[in-house]
Structure 1
Amino acid sequence: MREGSWPPSRGDSVRSGEDYVEALSERFARVGLWAFDHRWWVLAGCAALIAASLAGAVRVRVDNSFHAYFELDDPFYESYVDFRRDFGSDEVSYIVYEAPQAPYGIWTLDVMRRIAALEDRIVEEVPFVKEVTSPASVELLDPVPDGIRVYRVRDDFPTEQAELLEFRDKLLAKPLYRNGLVSPDGRYGALIVEMERSGADPPELLRVDPERGNAMDNLYPQASYKALERLLAQSGLSDIVFYHTGDVPLGAVVNEITANEASRLALICFAVVGLLLAVFLRRPVGVLGPLSVVLLAIVVTLGAVGWIGWSIDQMFDLMPVLLIAVGVADSVHVISEFRLYHTATGSRRQAVRETLRLVGTPCLLTSLTTAAGFASMSAAPIPAISHFGVYSAVGVLAAFVLTLTLLVVWLTVGRKRKRREASEAALLRARGGRAFQAMLAAITTFSVRHHRALVAATILVFAASAVGMTQLSVESNFLNEFGKSVPVRNTTVFVDGIMGGTLSFSYLIETGKPGAIKDPAVLREIERLQVEAERHGDVVRKTNSIVDFIKDINQTFHDGDPAYHVLPDSRDLVAQYLLLYEMSGGEDAEEWVSTDYSRARLEIRCRLTSSKLLESLIERLNDYLARQPMLHARPALTGMGALWLKLQEYIVDSQIRGFLLAFVAIAIMMCILLRSVKTGLLSMVPNLAPVFLTLGGMGLTGVPLDYVRLLVAPVAIGLAVDDTIHHMTRFRHEFRETGSYEEALRRSMADVGRALFITSTVLVAGFLVFAFSVMDNLGTLGVLLSTTIIMALVADYLIMPALVLTFRPFGPET
């Protein structure tokens, strides 16, 4: 729009009452006037909304368990629940320890006594503990004249150091316990704290005190983790070094981060965005208005989660920052236009009316398209992602409604001024100043002169990106999601290097016949699968099954001769061994078989490594079973590790589906908005280009997609289209005014170009706040989204004008 031609005439666009966009714009103008004239009603409504939202927010709890990621009727999840009916929870706290200052290390009498006392306190004081096993309490078998003796050190504690060292030598000679309870060199021991509960259990079973409800420190695993940490930190154990990892601490730390990160990152984002608004808009209202809108939108979103009855999980950490960055965009467009109209007319009321008439409809469409981008995730089979899509869409729409109401109330604040003709200097300042307008004019001139070359360059970008996208891989590593400053990550890496792995898979061996597990033919099939798993030592650290116990019993019956560490040939002999073992007080073997001996469990403990390596392991084991199937039993993969891999599969499928749904939904909206399939599809090109370029760049540089990075496509396309809508609708509006594509582009860029720059800068800065997260995957997501938004701004400045100038979708010039 030419300087000095303010306010703009409505021209044919208003006289044409048939244009539903213009009719909608008039309605938004009336909404603005109503909010302006009834500001106290608006504030009262906001107060009521805050009260209702806070009432819902107090009902929210944090849940990062598998219950948040699987539907209860999911077949794979149901098989895990079935597995737990016989074998209970497979979640543990794995506490490795050493005593470097003691003369005999962990085998020093005093150290062993204190570890035994610590076991007792863990059982007594830590909620949800089923059993604790350590070198002090593990079963050891000795041959006696009438059979075998099952004993534990703690039951008859040695009085002499030499006796304990003899016990050490016997324990280290047992394959059953090496790399599990003790390191092969005997330097490290382990407390294996088995839990009664699992992250797959419903919330009502995870409470320590039912009356305290869902307070985080009242729930598993948080309550168990905190109690364990308190016991390990007691002064009487200061000379023993503990390395605490496993399912319980990993789950608890994720919950803590989820609870703290959302508010911490939101505060940083508020500060950064507030600073940028102060720099660009230079008015208190320009800072306080947008921030109050997004703050209330966040409260509304949290309240909606509570009233629906959902929990918040790690996905929720994304929502406040996303909503701040996205919610401010509409406010920036409104305030930018308001300043121009107010400068020209001197009337706040008239400025509000004309502002919402001009930008109300584009803001509605940007909110709908962004909400559609988020809502597309609701089709995911994973509750956490599905819920994230829904409540994020609710937050975006709440921000839009508040922009039309609460922000208008802010715009009523200020001194009244007499109406006067706006000077060129005043209008120029409202548009960002002479230097900024000169830059926009230069960009426009470049687009006009080189629009065909820009279209050709766009085609090349898509081609190169397509090549890169073919090289994309999907891979995640739960451990690497934590930043290196998070202690549990470093502890887990250390423990994985010296002991058994911290991630477990289980094969449920089903025979369908009571007592069939005692059949040597069945046991040998379990054994050969166990041997095959141990061949993959790059991932597998240890395996456990009933086979290990039977082989140990057989060896004990033959005076500890290693040659007899094999399975017996007779079913009757197996049955006799197990009966004698139970009569002698043996209990540990019960964990590996069902009570009727129709089912057994084979545990495979692995390093907590990348999903790609774990998937490769499972594929190789399944290929082995396909080539050499079990003839006497049916193996089924289950356990927490298997659930995690299945979750990755679901996430990949849901995000690809979500991107396609978002693209289709947004493309349809654009076609409806612009009343032209050609124009609508053309407008999608500058939105797809940055997404394709980001994904293609990831493929070419070897950056894999994980369940967080997969959010880039559906989120980015929902955001990138916002500026395109403002630019395209204004471009179309100015074309109707002038009948010239070139002049329409110059006017559109002069008016909305600054707002596009501000909103993009705010989005980039907002997303870069994720770099302050202690979760590395969130930091990476922030960089990827910021890069995509920068490229989207370039596309709106260059590619979109070039496409319009080349294909002329608005019709012939007049």
Structure 2
Amino acid sequence: MVNYISKIIKHRNIVLIMTTIITLFFIYQLKSLNIIIDPDSVLPQTHPMIVTQNLIEKIFGNKVTVVIGIRPQNGTIFQKNVLQKVQNITNKIQNSPLSVRTNITSLTSKKTKNIEGNSEGMIVKPLIHKIPTKDSEFIELKKAIDNNPVYKNLIISNDEKTTLIIAEFKFPKNGFLEIKNFVEETVQPERDENIQIYLSGMAMYLGLLEKYSSRMIFLFPLSLFIIGLIHYEAFRTKQALILPLVTALLAVVWSAGLLGMMHEPFDVFNACTPILILAIAAGHAVQILKRYYEEYSKIKNDKPNKDPREINNIAVLNSLSKVGPTMFVACSVAALGFFSLTIFELRSIRTFGIFTGAGIISALILEMTFIPALRSLLKPPGERELSREGSISIWDNATEWFYKISMFHRKSVFYFVGTLILILSLGGYWLKVDNSQKHDIGKNDQFILDDKKINEYMAGTNLFYAVIEGPTQDSIKRPDVLVAIDNLQNYLNKNENIGKTISIVEFIKKMNQSMNNNNLKYFNIPTSQDLVAQYLFLYSNSGDPGDFDSYVDNDYKRALVTAFVKTDSSLVLADLVKNVKKFVADKFPKDIKILFGGGSLSTVAINEIIVHDKILNILQIITTVFLITSLVFRSFLAGFLILVPLLAAVFVNFGIMGLFGIPLEISTSLISAMAVGIGADYGIYMSFRMREELRNSIDESTAIKKAFMSAGKAALFVSSAVAGGFGVLMLSYGFMIHIWMGFLIATAMLVSSISTLTIFPSLIFTLRPKFIFEERK
């Protein structure tokens, strides 16, 4: 190590030039980075419900949906100005290259047909050919809607005071914010004091996520400022302010550049990663910086007449040679912990793991090359700088207090800290695994308010799909299959969370009625498959070819049943799926398959994956930490002891989530990996420093205190800096993903560092393991 560092110092100009070249290369790669939310990246693609979802999207569309609610302040929707606004918005969406023009449903869209019969047979015509202006025309329109009950509570509310426009859009190349902005610009001219317009749907939600994720442009500099401020307060020197942040910023640029090379966009999860890398990289840099000041002061006190630049180089050499191996172990543990996320099936989480792991490795490389080369060129610290760094501060007083209680009051530490951790951990009893898109957004956000109103007035904005699949072409035209579908819809309609269901069955029943003089008693399924086929043929003579694309495939081998649900809670939906599966088990012909998936059922799939993968992931990271630390210290006991602060952080985190009602969902599931990946550093640095000081000192208490005042003190303000850096995410008003991450990671860091300074050393003093005490003087 000494020879390596000597060469770095000797060839520092080359090192600086190479670092600059590499950094410029990665800066160039940043041009490919943008914030785009890809819903597929957060879904387990092999899960049966997601496989079904992909099948639905391929055959029926129904992926990127926008729901627009229109409600007059007074009266019903049967007013000229209301219907004119519906037509204006519908036409603008249909004329947009962003939309799927054949899959737009509203009172004025071409797809919305009035099916009726006369003496000549079936008549299919647009529900609204032109906007009514006379009372008689409005009466005719009401009659047409009443005669086509499929539209009731779908695009017109039961009380006739609200109407919906449901539009499907193409998957956007430039992000969902493009769709969100287009829709808002489209409806804006139609807003006035007499009309309420509400916006919801998956496309609007994903656009909002992109908008909120872009807040990192402002939150990252603020986090940088907070971390730098804490470092300056801890050391009270300019080097402490600047150098750790230089390492951190370069590590962020390198890892973000790697993300650009991979052509992976920032999403809601890895958009926070720059702050994480910033905090971790700065934390490791602080450990070396702290040791540098100690070595410089020691050499200067021993040899006051020595040239300051020579002292500077020796201090750089000594600090890195002593802390470098420890940093290598700590970074390896953290990086492998994050790289282990690549076993997750969710692509977004795999990207997060690679991004963060690469950032930690980048920080390690920079601290072992660029920083010693740069520090050897900088002006050595002067008397004033050394005096300020060595002055007694709140950090010293806090660290000394931790030393005293751990050294002399171990039983109290075990009782008090252990009981506190246990009590907080018990909150995990109330922890719920519940994925809901609406949970991610603050309850006062306009999107949530709009969505709530649409769910109140209409059938629901959350979709539940069932695919009915037959063995051959025209299977869906079979009366026994249609009756089974009808029974399924009747069962679903009885559920309190479902506002309406729709399928091809409603249209076939309406065709049967229209071909029998519009007699209501014939609003049922024909008993003959040939008759069903004839009705569909007659419809095609006057209807449009794509009218039923959302309900059946071209071969009538598959049909889609859509249920409109008033909640997207995965707990509610999972229970619903379980009950529906029981119902359909013996209600359909044996040769018919029923598949569930798509829409809000994706949250059920995520739930199942999170429960399994999260347990696996925690065990994997714990195993990684245990094996590496056991190998490095050649002691299984070392591995167990270093796990103690990490397990405390994980259990307390889950407990706090339960106590505060924070659900375990896809965003919060990452926090345990972060806590373990970052928190292992504190115990590793403390173990190495205690062992080093005990080997170099006769007096045990003096050696332990010195380790506390060095590595322990650094752990305290590093965890504070990480907590402060992530704490800025709590300023992201209305975006619960940021708020939860900021709160929980800050808590995890503080719990981990405090456990490292209390329970961890208390256990070491009590057990006196050989890996710490065996080679004492």
Aligned counterpart for 2:86 among listed residues 112, 115, 119: 115
- Partner deviation per Cα, 1:721-742 (whole Å, 9 max, x = no partner): 1111111111111121235543
Report the equivalent of 2:216: 262
Q: 1:564 is aligned with what amino acid?
A: Y
- 1:86 is displaced (CA, Å) by 3.0
Q: 1:44 to 1:170 in 2, by over 3 A?
A: same
Q: Please say if 1:66 is aligned against 2:30.
A: no
- 1:561 is displaced (CA, Å) by 4.3
Report the equivalent of 1:360: 324
Q: 1:741 to 1:660 in 2, by over 3 A?
A: farther
Q: 1:245 to 1:438 in 2, by over 3 A?
A: closer
Q: Please say if 1:511 is aligned against 2:470.
A: yes
- 1:745 is displaced (CA, Å) by 1.6
* Contact 1:30–1:353 (8 Å) recurs in 2: no
Which whole-Å CA distance do the structure 1 matches of 2:369 and 2:193 have between them? 60
Q: Secondary structure at the match of 1:98?
A: strand
Q: Please say if 1:585 is aligned against 2:549.
A: no
* Contact 1:96–1:188 (8 Å) recurs in 2: yes
Aligned counterpart for 1:641 among listed residues 574, 592, 600: 600
Matches within 5 A, 1:518-529: 518-529=477-488
Q: Secondary structure at the match of 1:631?
A: coil
* Contact 1:305–1:391 (8 Å) recurs in 2: yes
Matches within 5 A, 1:329-478: 329-344=283-298, 345=300, 346=308, 347-412=311-376, 415=379, 430-433=389-392, 436-455=395-414, 468-469=427-428, 471-478=430-437
Q: 1:692 to 1:644 in 2, by over 3 A?
A: closer
Report the equivalent of 1:285: 239
* Contact 2:466–2:562 (8 Å) recurs in 1: yes
* Contact 1:125–1:227 (8 Å) recurs in 2: no
Q: Please say if 1:247 is aligned against 2:247.
A: no
Farther-moved stretch of structure 1 (282-291 vs 518-527) = 282-291
Report the equivalent of 1:536: 495
Which whole-Å CA distance do the structure 2 matches of 1:487 and 1:236 have between them? 15
Q: 2:28 is aligned with what amino acid?
A: A
* Contact 1:428–1:434 (8 Å) recurs in 2: no
Report the equivalent of 2:305: none
Matches within 5 A, 1:782-797: 782-797=742-757
* Contact 2:116–2:511 (8 Å) recurs in 1: no
Q: 1:466 to 1:716 in 2, by over 3 A?
A: same
Report the equivalent of 2:304: none
Farther-moved stretch of structure 1 (522-531 vs 736-745) = 736-745
- Partner deviation per Cα, 1:611-661 (whole Å, 9 max, x = no partner): 111111111111222364543521111223233421332233222221111
Q: 1:624 to 1:97 in 2, by over 3 A?
A: same
User: TM-score, normalising length from structure 1?
Assistant: 0.87
* Contact 1:376–1:659 (8 Å) recurs in 2: no
* Contact 2:694–2:703 (8 Å) recurs in 1: yes
Q: 1:370 is aligned with what amino acid?
A: A
- Partner deviation per Cα, 1:429-480 (whole Å, 9 max, x = no partner): 5345176545433432322222245346666567656755455321121112
Q: 1:55 to 1:701 in 2, by over 3 A?
A: closer
Q: Secondary structure at the match of 1:381?
A: coil
Which whole-Å CA distance do the structure 2 matches of 1:455 and 1:439 have between them? 19
Q: 1:440 to 1:641 in 2, by over 3 A?
A: closer
* Contact 2:334–2:681 (8 Å) recurs in 1: yes
- 1:87 is displaced (CA, Å) by 1.8
Report the equivalent of 2:526: 568
Which whole-Å CA distance do the structure 2 matches of 1:427 and 1:270 have between them? 24
Which whole-Å CA distance do the structure 2 matches of 1:248 and 1:436 have between them? 49
* Contact 1:31–1:404 (8 Å) recurs in 2: no
- 1:576 is displaced (CA, Å) by 3.0
CA RMSD of aligned residues (A): 2.8
Which whole-Å CA distance do the structure 1 matches of 2:222 and 2:517 have between them? 67
Matches within 5 A, 1:27-176: 27=1, 29-70=2-43, 77-100=50-73, 105-131=76-102, 132-137=104-109, 138-172=112-146, 174-176=148-150
* Contact 2:49–2:601 (8 Å) recurs in 1: no
- Partner deviation per Cα, 1:335-364 (whole Å, 9 max, x = no partner): 222222223324211111121122212222
Q: 1:458 to 1:288 in 2, by over 3 A?
A: closer
Which whole-Å CA distance do the structure 2 matches of 1:395 and 1:227 have between them? 36
Q: Please say if 1:308 is aligned against 2:267.
A: no
Which whole-Å CA distance do the structure 1 matches of 2:106 and 2:124 have between them? 15
Q: Secondary structure at the match of 2:555?
A: coil
Which whole-Å CA distance do the structure 2 matches of 1:72 and 1:805 have between them? 50
* Contact 1:480–1:489 (8 Å) recurs in 2: no
- 1:257 is displaced (CA, Å) by 2.7
Which whole-Å CA distance do the structure 2 matches of 1:248 and 1:437 have between them? 52
Q: 1:494 to 1:443 in 2, by over 3 A?
A: same
Which whole-Å CA distance do the structure 2 matches of 1:701 and 1:483 have between them? 15
* Contact 2:85–2:190 (8 Å) recurs in 1: no
Q: 1:89 to 1:597 in 2, by over 3 A?
A: same
* Contact 1:129–1:194 (8 Å) recurs in 2: yes
- Partner deviation per Cα, 1:680-724 (whole Å, 9 max, x = no partner): 322222322222222234345654311122122221111111111
Farther-moved stretch of structure 1 (595-604 vs 621-630) = 621-630
Report the equivalent of 2:764: 804
- 1:799 is displaced (CA, Å) by 0.8
Farther-moved stretch of structure 1 (409-418 vs 768-777) = 409-418
- 1:287 is displaced (CA, Å) by 1.3
- Partner deviation per Cα, 1:649-677 (whole Å, 9 max, x = no partner): 22332222211111111111111221212
- 1:323 is displaced (CA, Å) by 1.1
Q: 1:261 is aligned with what amino acid?
A: R
Report the equivalent of 1:203: none
Q: Please say if 1:767 is aligned against 2:726.
A: yes
* Contact 1:92–1:248 (8 Å) recurs in 2: yes
Q: Secondary structure at the match of 1:581?
A: helix
Q: Secondary structure at the match of 1:710?
A: helix
Report the equivalent of 1:326: 280
* Contact 1:370–1:719 (8 Å) recurs in 2: yes
Q: 1:389 is aligned with what amino acid?
A: G
- Partner deviation per Cα, 1:56-94 (whole Å, 9 max, x = no partner): 222234442233235767665444333344323443211
Which whole-Å CA distance do the structure 2 matches of 1:156 and 1:790 have between them? 66
Report the equivalent of 2:303: none
Which whole-Å CA distance do the structure 2 matches of 1:455 and 1:118 have between them? 66
Q: How many pairs align?
A: 759
Q: Please say if 1:551 is aligned against 2:509.
A: yes
- 1:582 is displaced (CA, Å) by 2.3
Percent of pairs with identical residues: 23
Q: Secondary structure at the match of 2:464?
A: strand
* Contact 1:540–1:606 (8 Å) recurs in 2: yes
Which whole-Å CA distance do the structure 2 matches of 1:734 and 1:121 have between them? 74
* Contact 1:109–1:164 (8 Å) recurs in 2: no
Which whole-Å CA distance do the structure 1 matches of 2:425 and 2:189 have between them? 58
Which whole-Å CA distance do the structure 1 matches of 2:381 and 2:39 have between them? 60
**Long gaps (5+) in structure 2:** 301-307
Which whole-Å CA distance do the structure 2 matches of 1:766 and 1:605 have between them? 42
- Partner deviation per Cα, 1:756-811 (whole Å, 9 max, x = no partner): 22101101101211102242122112211211221222211111111111111024
* Contact 2:49–2:596 (8 Å) recurs in 1: no
- 1:505 is displaced (CA, Å) by 2.2
Q: Secondary structure at the match of 2:572?
A: helix
Q: Secondary structure at the match of 1:360?
A: helix
Q: 1:244 is aligned with what amino acid?
A: L
Q: Secondary structure at the match of 1:568?
A: coil
Farther-moved stretch of structure 1 (173-182 vs 294-303) = 173-182
